[in-house]
Chains A and B, each alone.
Chain A
Amino acid sequence: MDLTFTDEENAFRQEVRDFFRENLPKEISDAVKNGGELTKEHMERYHAILNEKGWLASTWPEEYGGPGWTPVQRHIFDEESCRAYAPRIVPFGLNMLGPVLQKFGTQEQKDYYLPRILNGDDWWCQGYSEPGAGSDLASLKTRAVRDGDHYVINGQKTWTTLGQHADWIFCLCRTDPDVKQQEGISFILVDLKTPGIEMRPIKLIEGGHEVNEVFFTDVRVPVENLVGKENQGWTIAKYLLTHERTGIAGVGASMQSLEEVKALARKTMRSGKPLIEDPLFAARIAQVEVDLEAMKITNLRMLFKAQKQGAPGAETSILKIKGTVINQELKDLARRALGPSAAPFPGHITDGNLALAPASEANNAARYFNNRKTSIFGGSNEIQRNILSKAVLEL
């Protein structure tokens, strides 16, 4: 057992830190710090900066243009990117579709799509959930019917994150309604410019626009856009879910949030003293800090195990559950620390002199509400518990 980073790892951390200091545009880190919506241009620019360095597709094997990092290096990168207020990488092309194509795609698909993902030519979104199929994804109804050398797609997807920026969507569609649910699903790539597709915004609880509904009416998609075999979509979806879990503990983000909460508590005055001197609030912070310290190690332990076994196991659901709870707790503390100063609706006070808090804090209530999503999406925390009790505890 040895918890110290090696000299190489420490050197790598320094390299990443220097890289962000020298290359991350302030405009982008400010946008992250202020918790507003990042523009499409911000994210594309950030991806391009990483791509130029060869660090964009951190989970891809080197043969496809990945950096060939160890899990520890990925972890260090995650920590440092959060520390520098770099945006999160938009995961749909890079962390979801990429690994799927590498494992299930044809040579043509790999050759065409993978470089375009790296270069930012295509923005991808994920078309899994439907109004009637959330946790029970396998019950999805969107139909793809073979017609010559096309599939004709009819149905509706929803919760499509950042679909408003996307060029393409990867969809799970029902191709055989007469077999067991899981055996009649296919994984199909759809160009969003195809006639018959309509995207409508969904406004979220705090007022932001990051998810959408997508309607498909007689959308004709070439059969070459099928990934894997027809009706093999569920296997692919499950494979993808395991990839969706890398970084799911959000350790870097929570470390950053913890620093923010502490800084906030140091300068916020309550009853004539800094809030950090209030024993109740100090204890709240300390409590999360303890959990986070353990989570850092839990995360690394599971990363190592995944590396040995070649794939993450069901116990990574623990990372999702506890990681999101820790992060949500920190968002709650940030909102509390601000108190009534978190009350104004974001953007309503336009005169900077009148702001009740600096821009980087004023959105704390909005962030708290928005962050409730993390225990719902990517397999809700209830579903993660079901997975653990079945697969790990065999109950």
Chain B
Amino acid sequence: MDFDLTEDRQMLSDSLNRFLADKYPVEHRTKVAYAEPYHDPALWDGIAELGALFALASEDKGGFGGSGFDISVVFEAMGRVICPEPVLGALLASRILSHTDADQEALLSGAVRYAVGLGEIEAPYDLSFIKTEAQKSGDGYTVTGRKSAVYGGQAAEVILVAAKLDGKLAVLSVKAADADVTGYGMMDGGGAAEVLLDGTPAELVLADAEAAIQDAVNAGIVALCSEAVGAMEVLHAMTVDYLKQRKQFGRAIGSFQALQHRAVDMLTEIEQSRSIVIKAASELNGEDATKFCAMAKNLIGRAGRLVAEEAIQMHGGIAMTWEYPGSHYAKRIIMIDAQLGDTDYQLAKVASAA
């Protein structure tokens, strides 16, 4: 057993952390995360140049990684600066395309930005209930329906969408320029889009895509959970720092046991979070991936709420402000719960898998 990163991953982690710490000071992050196009295209290129996207795919698909730990390293680094770059879209897309023979060079080099439209307003998590439909039309296909909260969709050139084709879940590829895409910023920064498809021309990526989609969702869960762990650690460190600095009643508020124990409870939950993410990452390419990813997302949902709410509470008013960096970490950590299946949805999945 060895809980250290391999040398390659450690190098990727170091260079990515350095780059992001340098380029994404929180003022810059807040500026770009909340104004169109809700990310920084120059820094997207920078992240791609570091090879972060190649780390998301396996060697036989043109990348140099693709394991749960590779994904985890990239997203934890992003979580530490709450980076709004649409890397999740690239991961989900690469993961789906890896079930085909498609060439991923343009995707993994960052030259073409991808987003993946899975959920819909009435079926955000459980995709068996989506309504979007694909149809054969001449040589190609068309898609009709609405994909909602497509993360990174505001900045994507290609959108892969989940649609029903002959009653089965399929994935089709749509050019953003051919669809009706409305981008917007999110509560926690970064962008998404509503994608309206109305007989929109599409290319078939995978006809029987249920397993591929689940695999992509699992990878996305490892990514989001890793991002959450990175963000939680930073927010916890800020909180502990503040407990030491802030004085009331002539002493550091961190000297009050009522707060000390709660800061420790946060630490415990973060350690548990890290462990479940390690477990999920190690199982990602195995048979029980879905169960362990569901476990990770459930635990992160619970721990995230505790960490975000306690961080705000123990800071007092200051953490209620936009200006204080911690508030943005708290928002990101909370909003992760609604991506790719929330705490309750995942708990039910764990229960039914057992």
Contacts and interface: CB of A to CB of B under 8 A. Distances in A.
Interface of A: 129, 132, 134-136, 139, 158-159, 202-207, 269-272, 278, 280-281, 284, 332, 335-336, 338-346, 348-349, 351, 354, 356, 365-366, 368-369, 372-373, 375-377, 380-382, 385-386
Interface in B258-291: 258-259
Contacts of B241: none
A203 B322 CA distance: 5
A376 B186 contact: no
B121 interface: yes
Contacts of B316: 134-135, 376, 380
Contacts of B126: 270-272
7 contacts: A271-B126, A343-B338, A344-B186, A356-B121, A366-B187, A369-B187, A376-B312
Interface stretch (B49-57, B162-170, B339-347): B339-347
Interface in B303-354: 305, 309, 312-313, 316-317, 319-323, 327, 330-331, 334-335, 337-339, 342-345, 347-348
Contacts of B345: 270
- 9 nearest A-B pairs in the assembled complex, by CB-CB distance: A340-B149, A203-B322, A348-B184, A136-B248, A269-B122, A271-B126, A205-B327, A280-B344, A345-B185
Contact of A345 (B121, B184, B321): B184
A270 B125 contact: yes
Contacts of B322: 203-205, 207
A349 B184 contact: yes
B124 interface: yes
Contacts of B71: none
Contacts of A369: 187, 330-331, 334
A352 to B, nearest CB: 12
A206 B187 contact: yes
Given A134-B248, A280-B344, A349-B184, A342 B338 contact: yes
B123 interface: yes
Given A270-B345, A354-B194, A340 B339 contact: yes
Given A136-B248, A271-B129, A356-B121, A340 B185 contact: no
B192 to A, nearest CB: 6
Contacts of A139: 248-250
Given A336-B342, A375-B313, A341 B321 contact: no
Contacts of B125: 270-271, 339
B119 interface: yes
B258 A385 contact: yes
Contact of A343 (B122, B187, B321, B347): B187
Contacts of B173: none
Given A345-B187, A385-B258, A134 B317 contact: yes
A380 B319 CA distance: 14
Given A158-B317, A272-B126, A341-B121, 4 more contacts: A203-B322, A335-B338, A340-B148, A341-B148
Contacts of B348: 278, 280
A202 B185 contact: no
Contacts of A336: 337-338, 342-344
B34 interface: yes
A220 to B, nearest CB: 29
B129 to A, nearest CB: 5
A373 B149 contact: no
Given A280-B348, A343-B149, A356-B121, A381 B338 contact: no
Nearest to B146: A354
Given A205-B330, A356-B149, A385-B258, A376 B313 contact: yes
A203 B323 contact: yes
Contacts of A381: 313
B137 interface: no
Contact of B320 (A205, A272, A356, A368): A205
B182 interface: yes
A340 B323 contact: no
B187 A342 contact: yes
Contacts of B323: 202-203
A135 B246 CA distance: 11
* Interface core residue of A203, A343, A380, A386 (most chain B CB under 10 Å): A343
Nearest to A273: B129
B350 to A, nearest CB: 12
Contacts of A376: 312-313, 316-317, 320
Contacts of B186: 343-345
Interface in B125-143: 125-126, 128-129
A368 B194 CA distance: 23
Contacts of A338: 338
A207 B249 CA distance: 31
Contacts of B319: 205
A345 B149 contact: no
Contacts of B185: 344-345, 348
A235 to B, nearest CB: 20
Contact of A204 (B320, B334, B344): B320
A134 B318 CA distance: 10
B124 A340 contact: yes
B184 A372 contact: no
Given A136-B249, A270-B345, A381-B313, A204 B321 contact: yes
Given A342-B187, A356-B194, A366-B187, A205 B331 contact: yes
